[in-house]
């Protein structure tokens, strides 16, 4: 059986690598992207089962990228969990209105991330 694929789009390389390591330790196949444009390309080529998406990024921010993902027939059905340091309720509402399936606030624990991932795509 093929592994469940997760795309991490996060411009903080240390955090991106931490998330990738955490998810790979749970037997997910993980790709990373460090800006919105690279993330959009990888969303189309990697065809992930889930995307973890940061909001504040260079070249294309998370909001623009979420809209691009949800407006493309090739990527529209991919669930997206938004990740950000902002805890404002309006951002949660905006993410959900734009098609995100959930939200993870930074800083986050391993257990919280794995729980949210499992909620969306099921256990490995």
Mean pLDDT, the chain, rounded, equals: 91
pLDDT value of residue 124: 66
How far is 33 from 61, CA to CA, in rounded Å?
Answer: 13
Extents of the domains making up the chain: 5-121
Residue 87: pLDDT over 70: no
pLDDT tens-digit readout, 36-45 = 999 999 999 9
**Do 95 and 82 meet the contact criterion of CB atoms below 8 Å apart?**
yes
**How far is 118 from 14, CA to CA, in rounded Å?**
23
Per residue, the 3-state secondary structure of the chain, as one string, reads CCCCEEEEECCCHHHHHHHHHHHHCCCCEEEEECCHHHHHHHHHHHCCCEEEEECCCCCCCHHHHHHHHHHCCCCCCCCEEEEECCCCHHHHHHHHHCCCCEEEECCCCHHHHHHHHHHHHCCC
Give tens-digit pLDDT for 10-26: 999 999 999 999 999 99
- 5-121 belongs to CATH 3.40.50.970: no
| Mean pLDDT (whole number) for 90-97 | 85
Q: Would the pLDDT of 119 be above 80? A: yes
pTM: predicted TM-score of the whole model, two decimal places: 0.93
pLDDT of the residue at 122:
78
Say if residues 67 and 55 touch (Cβ distance below 8 Å): no
């Amino acid at each position: 059986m093929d592994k469940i694929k997760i795309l991490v789009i996060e411009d903080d390389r240390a955090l991106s690598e931490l998330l990738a390591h955490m998810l790979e330790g749970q037997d997910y196949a993980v790709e990373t992207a460090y800006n919105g444009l690279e993330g959009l390309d990888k969303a189309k080529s990697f065809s992930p089962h889930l995307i973890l998406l940061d909001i504040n990024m260079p070249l294309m921010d998370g909001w623009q990228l979420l809209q691009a993902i949800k407006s493309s027939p090739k990527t529209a059905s991919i669930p997206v969990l938004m990740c950000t340091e902002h805890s404002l309720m309006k951002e949660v509402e905006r993410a959900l209105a734009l098609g995100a399936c959930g939200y993870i606030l930074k800083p986050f624990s391993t257990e919280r991330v794995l729980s949210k991932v499992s909620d969306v795509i099921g256990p490995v």
